[in-house]
Amino acid sequence: MTKFDTTQLRARFDNTSEGWLVQVYRSDRRLLCVLEASHAWAFFVGCGLGLLLAVGWFNLAKSSPSTLDRPITIPPEMWID
């Protein structure tokens, strides 16, 4: 009976922790840009922080009193019947 060798199984699944990579080329096969998993994480973190900032700014602007909402207390100069 042969023993089960875990090193072969481990080497087979080690490439799952590498992440992903997208390379964008031009029509003449020159490399334009490379997108890695860290770029996507940075983008999503930035979107999340931007959303939190927008919601906080909206709530802050909504709760602060506006000078245009005050009623006019001065009567008009001429009353028209």
pLDDT of residue 61: 82
User: In the prediction, which pLDDT does 71 show?
Assistant: 67
Q: pTM here?
A: 0.49
Q: What is the mean pLDDT of each run of 10 residues along the chain (81 residues)?
A: 62 60 93 90 96 93 68 69 60
Query: Looking at the DSSP assignment, which residues form a beta bridge with residue 24?
Result: 33
